[in-house]
Structure 1
Amino acid sequence: MTNAAAPTMVDFERAREIVARVAQPTPLQTSRFLTELTGADQVFMKCENLQRTGSYKLRGAYHRMSQLSAQERERGVVAASAGNHAQGVAFAARELGITATIYMPKGVALPKLQATRNYGARVVLEGHSVEEALRAANEFSASSGAVFIPPFDHEAVIAGQGTIALEMLEEAPEIETIVVPIGGGGLIAGVAAAAKIWAAERGRKMRIIGVQAENAAPYPPSLEAGKPLTIKTRPTIADGIAVARPGTLNFAVIKDYVDEVVTVSEDDLSRAILLLLERAKLVVEPAGAAGVAAMVAGKISCSGSIATILSGGNIDPMLMQRVISHGLAASDRYLKLRVMLPDRPGQLARVAEIVSAADANVVEVLHTRHDGGLQINEVELELHIETRGVEHAEEVIRALSDEGFKFRRGAR
């Protein structure tokens, strides 16, 4: 880029020509169900979950590596990642004929580990976190001369990710707002700068909104402080955007070009994944569903034509299983109740009849007399019930309450 804090349209156009050698122009789908849910005029979804390697990361990695000199390519590249960046670097290295070494934390999801190896990279398992793998990758770079490929904090990476905005606006120039997941900030820095410059050249306004998982959200406090801050993160299913500190270059661009940053909860993310699976037939990882989560949760004002980027689809099947279960519970489609019963015959059958009469389905039952909070003549019945949603769940609860049963929501 001519200036790291002020990329130009020339930067993005050049990047687009290079990125087009490997990246597919992913679909920009209109979403009727999101349009109805949000009240926007129209909602678009940019399906980077369908990109080669399963995420947008290929764009920035390939663009950065395409700039390496012959001597640098000979030394090889190194990166650290738990998933999407690893696969993007491995694939780009294979296409460019460069040897790649990828450090991944121990315990990384098996599908991501296998995919990275299948793209031809040498994978080294190091540490139990991305931070530990990152330290090892930097040490390897210093000792071997391999070029370190950062996941977000580099001008060429930012320009590569910004090519997504050009594709979106070329296909749907009516877009007025773009909602983007944020981790370190490479994706939103590129998209925001490209989209804002594109709009300014046409005398238009463009709104850019970033979304972080609330358990790993350094951008809101950093923007308030006017400088990148390091925060203490908590576990989140959105591991693709779980960072403790904004990228330095990314922060400078985001401060100038992004209008708002909001956060979403784990329940919001789970509901969004389930919604995309059921209504759009799209498999999207938690980080990639952050924009949809923000819209559905009412975290942003949805008006006019709005678009979000489904940034990745690399979700571990075991996590998908847990997320679907959690999403069902968060949407009141999977209701868990602890019902207190008098310890006498027929009470279980009576509860089952009430639930059945409300057209709900009991999928699991736990019956116990040994909880410390129970009276000597009481038993507790834990019910896991399938419902059709919030209103139906309330019908089931009301039916039990009307029959005089005491209960608490949630499992033991």
Structure 2
Amino acid sequence: MIEKKKLVFEKTVLIGVITARQDEEQALEYLAELAFLAHTAGGEVIKQYTQKMTLPNPKTFIGSGKLQEIQQFVKENEVSTLVFDDELTPAQQRNIEEVMKCKILDRTGLILDIFAQRAQTSYARNQVELAQYQYLLPRLKGLWTHLERQKGGIGMRGPGETEIETDRRIVRDKIALLKKKLLVIDKQMSTQRGNRGALVRVALVGYTNVGKSTLMNAIAKSEVFAENKLFATLDTTVRKVVIGNLPFLLSDTVGFIRKLPTQLVESFKSTLDEVQEADLLLHVVDISHANFEEHIESVNLILSEIKSQDKPTLMVFNKIDAYKPLVIEPDDLVTEKTKLHNTIEEWEQTWMSKMNGNALFISATKKENLVHFRKQVYAAIRDIHVTRFPYNNFLYPEGLEE
């Protein structure tokens, strides 16, 4: 009998700052998300630190006293990786590394590392590799000796470990080559999109880990990889779906996240073309997450960056089965009601009002309210279809039979 290898997680410490722009509550929320990212990458978070600052220290990001405190903890607990919640400058990263003598990553480096793990197709791998090289280029000084000291693990996947001898000129050449490769594939993908005919295009968008792939599996009866981890899927999946007798194309796109590295937004532009060319967006939201409204804002920000914020949109609030509002006891006369106390019904009224009725509340996993979901999606697609092809609208009835 072959013994299964035990998964070894790297001891990881997280560091964030509290500033005028980011209060303590936000800093802790971002660190909770960073912990999930670290776990996805293979890290075991054993401690997190925050520091109140007017501005980050230009040399070491955090103050010297806090740096010494963390250094002591790292030494005593044999910590292998420190992850900062904000992007470090190359100089900051080098300075901290000299003090800590362990791997130093920022949120951008960590997300790039997860993308390197998740990339399955050659296209996705090229996109990630391009983003990694663009990130590494200004950090080449002093990086190779660090990589010689430590091989493998979080932050070490991708081009770094095999390109120790590479200088800036070769990296720039590699970036240019990858851009050319992606340009060729982009043209091929654009042609493929053009060859899909006149079918209405629907794109699933949303924050990472909100259940887009699970929803696609539920309505398209496809086998798209879905997992309770951030960035479970990178490659856009397109399926032909028929609701009633109305066919359309449904695409599942890469999940968005706060502080998404600019290198990745640039590298994944063509993946986001599916969103730009869609006739209808299904904006999927994890309503069970305490900060889902912030997630909505983050997604809308990226949609505005790719000029897709004004497309017809259905808000799909997923995971209603996991939603648990805070409860105020009848005899509690002190606690003030907040959004966290809202019931699903109250959220439904709120968002129905905000979206002029274009809001749905479902559970893709438990298949709750999917009949109503299909009806609403059918109605939205039919409106687009009959506007585009008024001569054959008699083929599609106004209401979808159950």
- TM-score between both structures, scaled by the size of structure 1: 0.25
Larger RCO (alpha carbons 8 Å, 6+ apart): 1
- TM-score between both structures, scaled by the size of structure 2: 0.26
